[in-house]
Amino acid sequence: MKIIKREDFKAFVNALIKDSGLDVEGVKAKGEKFAFGPLESADDLRLDYDVTLLPPKKYFLPQYEQLLKFDLSHPFSVDRPEYPRRKVVIGVHPYDIAAIRQMDSYFLDTDISANYLRRRKNTLIIGCDVMKVQEKAFFGSMGTGVMHSGYDLYLTDLGDRVAMEIGTEAGSDLLRYAKNIREASPVEVQKVKAMREAMAQKASRGLIVKPTGWHDLLEKNYESEVWKKQSDKCLGCGTCTLVCPTCFCYDIQDDLNLDLKTGERLRTWDGCLLRKFTEIGSGEVFRDDILDRYRHRFHRKGRYLPDRLGFVACVGCGRCASQCVPDIADPVNLINMLFEASPHLVQDSLSDPHTVRTDLQVIQTGDDAKMLHMPQAATIKRVEKLSAKETMFEITLDSGKTLGHTPGQFVEVSIMGMGEAPISVSSAPNGKSFEIVVRKVGDVTSKIHTMKAGDKVGIRGPFGRGFNVEGLKGRNILFIGGGIGIIPMRSFINYVLDHRKEYGEVTILYGCKEPCEMLFSKEVASWSKRDDIQHKRTVDKCPDGECWDGDLGVITTLIPKVKFDPKTTVAVVVGPPIMYKFVNRELLKLGVPEENIVVSLERRMKCGVGKCGHCQINGVYVCKEGPVFNYRDLKNLPEAFK
Amino acid sequence: MKPKVAIFDFASCEGCELQIVNLEEAIIDVAKLVDIVEFREAMKESSDDYDIAIVEGSIARPIDEERLKKIRAKAKILIALGACAHLGGVQRLGNRFSPDENKKEVYHMARPEDISDGNPYFKEPRHRALDEVVKVDYTIPGCPINRVEFAKVLVALLTGKKPPIPDYPVCVECKKKENTCLYTVGGVCMGPVARGGCDAICPTYGGECEACRGYVSHPHEKAQMDVLAKYGLTAEEIMNRKTMFTSRYTEKKGGE
């Protein structure tokens, strides 16, 4: 530990500010509150602050961040954002350091975000001890009051002197801007240690269940009345998520300039408390009820992220608690209420291996960091209108490579200036090109409907987990497709038909509302002619004047009309949400084992790489673990078939 | 061919049109995208031939209704500009009283025969939003409008994109700007139910949000009213906040 006199410390900060190659940010007063902002003088730095309005996450995941630039006057021109400038952030409290380490683990774990990594690597963190505890803070209860790493330098304000601990070589290197540094005496070291521990003690607020027990408590109280009681007061304003240092969800928007040529794709903070968070192109909102959104936030922090990354995603800063107007966001209150509302639970019985991890290492990454949101150029080769709303596009990647997808996977289709949409690949993996079928519902899908052969689109992916085409070889397969569910399913059907001998008995059932909605009509007709598969098709109704050669009635009515052995057949079911309810019930009744029912689900897959948070079904990321799921794995997820 | 745009106004302060003028150098870019054929506040020409009609103001009298219907019949696209066109404006508060009461209060110096229903300019004024009279294709909310948003809507229309009017509360942009929440410093605010897109300009400068952009599509109104009560507002004060710009919603429920 080093010691520097206050005036020398000020000179040190001013020397940093003077360096034109550095952006120096620090805690400053903002009205009656505090905020991190650009420092113009060491006099503005307030190391005596309690908490900042926003956490320093804004330096690593800015409120608005350019993901790419584009220029529509060229066939397909996308450019990386500019490299972030080198920054020093002064005055980061230990709980916020803990949050940054959690953020590292989130963005630098798998699918490393190059945007995040660039900012993280170019930002030095100067931590500081908490001198004044904000009323709602509870970092003492969360074990984040004392950090032993995660900073480059660490300060403790001793009045006339400032104690400095060196965390990294880069931090040590910063000291060349400082003068008159000496080693701390053992008394000073002791004093700092005592102050620190006393402060952590002070920031404990009677949290009944320790963070190690949150997972259990939340899991056992998913249906608790507390959720309704609290969420009835919720404004749905999103504040709790926006001010949280461990909320990372984001939205992506395109912004086209007035020249109608140039523009940028932006990433901006989003929050799961906002109603639009789970809305998909067709207008369906998967967490429409505020109760579901309110509950999701706590479960993501106490259960879903712990399951995924091994830590409770709350560091006890108290920002949500102090900024929630109806005062329902406070984790201490919520956890205590849940515990008190479930008298059958014994405090000590609540345990699990998760804790608030503060020892996460910054993952050292080099070239494996990717511009996760950078699409590759692709060309539309062929356009075929399939119905009033659906059109098929055959696409090749300009790189000459094949897409390399598994049937059931999806791609993010990009139209610069419009945005991106997740679209399932509907062709089997054969040949250089792939096919997607697009239903006209939103901006991107409407725009692509105006495109023709030769036009350029951007493609990211393939993403997600597709059908287990290899594992199902030799098995009997019953395909049940409803409406546009046939689109992703077709990639698997065609794969099976291409490798017919490698599979057992194959049955295809396909249903639509009306004959005019039937897709791939030529292929469907060819299924009837094959003697190595069973096929039946149906429509709910056939309006006068339309021709129809199949059955009449909902899709479930086809099931008893075909022969299959429920014990040995794998059912692949893809369709609208309502269809799953009835078809799955029917299949289970017939004795098809749960693990033999395979479904594909639709959610708002915005990023495709498990970061933006929109597609979550409880703790499951549809874009990573889905869209193809085994029914057995989903039935315990209350949000799956809601 | 560039689409022809005409800009009209009804009962309003014309401040939203002024925001278009205030685009300053960007208005040159706008003029490259569209032909402005009528814009009373900024030019003397007028025209009956237009594709897009941008209309500011609330519709009060039968003569206004008639004029708006004519505009609607000529325009392929009709855009409501600002809070008056979107919600009926502050002047809608007058709907709480009878036309006669209003006239007595405002024009008490006038001769009764001049302000009677016989004068079409004074006939039965009841303020309504445009979409209560004709079909409105798009709305640019706000009092005044956010001119950056105006430009974005124009870009969206010209490129076939849904105009990017947010459907989240003002709190979202307010938090991103790292403002101090007024509730935490003894104030009150309609931000939690009010539609964002204004970049939280009022709270940013210490003013409370009065929901000039209307409510989000699914406002948690009851929670909001509970909060106002919790923060010490009387029923009348709550009502005032609720009706400043948004009496339209209350009127619909037959509350007034």
Contact B192 A232 (CB under 8 A): no
Mean pLDDT across B4-31: 94
Question: What is the C-alpha separation between A361 and A597, in angstroms, rounded?
Answer: 40
| DSSP β-bridge partners for residue A510 | A481, A537
B185 touches A at CB < 8 Å: yes
Q: Any bridge partners for residue A165, and if so which?
A: A154
B150 chain-A contacts, CB cut-off 8 A:
none
**Domain residue extents for chain B:** 4-159, 170-252
Residue A444 falls inside a structural domain? yes
**Model ipTM value:** 0.92
Mark yes or no for CB contact B192/A64 under 8 Å: no
Under the banding of pLDDT at 50, 70 and 90, the label for residue B242 is: confident
The residue of chain A nearest to residue B28, with distances taken between CA atoms, is A258
Q: Is residue A634 part of a domain?
A: no
Supply the pLDDT for residue A272. 97
CB contact under 8 A, B172 and A271: yes
Distance CA A4, CA A13 (A): 12
* Segments forming the whole domain that contains residue A271: 211-349
Task: Indicate if A529 and A572 belong to the same structural domain.
Answer: yes
User: Are the beta carbons of A98 and A147 closer than 8 angstroms?
Assistant: yes
Tell me the angle at which helices B221-230 and B235-243 cross, rounded to the nearest 10 degrees.
Answer: 140
Task: Give the Cα separation of A115 and A112 in Å (integer).
Answer: 9
User: Whose CA is closest to A409, among A328, A489, A303?
Assistant: A489
Which residue intervals of B185-233 are DSSP H helices? 201-204, 221-230
CB–CB of B26 and A446 under 8 A?
Answer: no
Tokens 């001013």 locate to A14
Specify whether A192 is located in the same domain as A218.
no
Tell me: do A498 and A418 sit in the same domain.
no
What's the mean pLDDT in B202-223?
93
A471 occurs within a structural domain: no
- pLDDT tens by residue, A382-410: 999 999 999 999 999 999 999 999 999 99
Q: Give how far A249 is from chain B: nearest CA, Å.
A: 13
Provide the CATH number for the domain around residue A395. Answer: 2.40.30.10
Q: Which of A149, A153, A158, A145 is nearest to A187 (CA)?
A: A158
- pLDDT score, position A349: 52
Looking at the structure, tell me whether residues A389 and A327 fall in a common domain.
no
CA distance A349 to chain B (A): 36
pLDDT at B173 over 50: yes
User: What six digits make up the tokens of A497?
Assistant: 């038909």
Closest residue in B to A268 (Cα) is B176
The answer to whether residue A281 sits within a structural domain is: yes
For chain A, say whether B232 makes contact (Cβ under 8 Å).
Answer: no
Beta-strand (E) ranges in A540-624? 551-552, 569-574, 597-600, 616-617, 620-621
Residues A7 and A45 occupy one common structural domain:
yes
What is the reported pLDDT for A346?
60
From B195's Cα to the closest Cα of chain A, the distance in A is 10
Asked whether the beta carbons of residue B178 and residue A326 sit closer than 8 angstroms, the reply is no
Look at residues B46, B47, B54 and name the one whose alpha carbon lies nearest to residue B157: B54
Helix (H, G, I), strand (E, B) or coil at A423: strand
Q: Which residues pair with A158 in a beta bridge?
A: none
Is residue A276 within 8 Å of A285, Cβ to Cβ?
A: yes
- Do A158 and A237 sit in the same domain of this protein? no
Q: Check residue A347 and give its pLDDT.
A: 58
Residues A491 and A343 in one domain: no
Which residues of chain A have a CB within 8 Å of the CB of B179? 53
d(C-alpha A458, C-alpha A412), whole Å: 8
Backbone φ, ψ for residue A168 (5° rounding): -140, 170
Domain boundary among A135, A170, A202: A202
Is residue B254's pLDDT more than 50? no
Residue A406, min C-alpha distance to chain B (Å)? 32
Which residues contact residue A90 at a Cβ distance below 8 angstroms, ignoring those fewer than 6 apart?
A13, A16, A24, A25, A26, A27, A39, A45, A126, A128, A155
Q: Provide the H-helix boundaries in B36-114.
A: 62-74, 82-87, 99-106
> Are A163 and A58 contained in the same domain?
yes
Query: To which H or E segment does residue B3 belong?
Result: none
Phi, psi of A203 (to 5 degrees): -90, 50
DSSP B103: H
DSSP code at position A404: -
**Cβ separation A417–B161 shorter than 8 A:** yes
**CA distance, residue B58 to nearest chain A CA (Å):** 29
CA dist., res. A180 & res. A171, Å (int) = 17
Specify the higher pLDDT residue, A501 or B1. A501
Residue A71: inside a domain? no
Residues in A touching B217 (Cβ below 8 Å):
275
In chain A, which residues have their Cβ closer than 8 Å to the Cβ of B157? none
CATH number of B4-159: 3.40.50.700
C-beta of residue A165 within 8 angstroms of C-beta of residue A144: no
d(CA B176, CA A53): 10
Check whether B158 has a pLDDT greater than 90.
yes
Whether residue A258 and residue B26 make contact (CB cut-off 8 A), yes or no, is yes
Q: Which residues of chain A are under the pLDDT cut of 50?
A: 350-354, 359-360, 363-365, 367
Give the pLDDT confidence score for residue A127 in this predicted structure.
97
pLDDT digits (tens, 9 = 90+) for A277-313: 999 888 889 999 999 999 999 999 999 999 988 889 9
Calculate Rg over the CA atoms of chain B. 19
Query: Does residue A279 lie within any of the structural domains?
Result: yes
CB-based contact A33 B180, cutoff 8 Å: yes
- CB burial readout A278-303, b (16+ within 10 A) else e: bbbbeeebbbeebbbbbbbbbbbbbb
Give percent of chain B above pLDDT 90. Answer: 69
Structural contact between residues B158 and B152, judged by C-beta atoms closer than 8 angstroms: no
Whole-number pLDDT of residue A283: 86
Are B9 and B42 in contact, with CB atoms under 8 Å apart? no
Token couple for A408: 């059931």
A270 and A247 in a common domain? yes
Tell me what the mean pLDDT of segment B75-89 comes to: 97
Chain B partners within 8 Å of A322 (Cβ): 184
What the block records as the tokens of A153 is 């330098």
Under 8 Å CB-to-CB from A219, ≥6 apart: which residues? A303
Query: What pLDDT does residue B232 have?
Result: 87
Domain boundary among A146, A167, A202: A202
Identify whether residues A45 and A99 lie together within a single domain.
Answer: yes
A149 and A167 in contact (C-beta within 8 Å)? Answer: yes
What region, left, alpha or beta, does residue A610 occupy, with left being phi > 0 and alpha being psi -120 to 50 degrees? Answer: left
- Which of A463, A498, A513 delimits the end of a domain? A463
Q: Are residues A36 and A166 in the same domain?
A: yes
**Domain assignment present for A367:** no
* Contact of A547 with A518, CB cutoff 8 Å: no
**Are both A184 and A226 inside the same structural domain?**
no
- Closest residue, chain B, to A447 (C-alpha): B160
* B252: confidence class by pLDDT, cuts 50, 70, 90: low
> What is the structure's pLDDT at A184?
96
User: Total domain count for chain A?
Assistant: 4
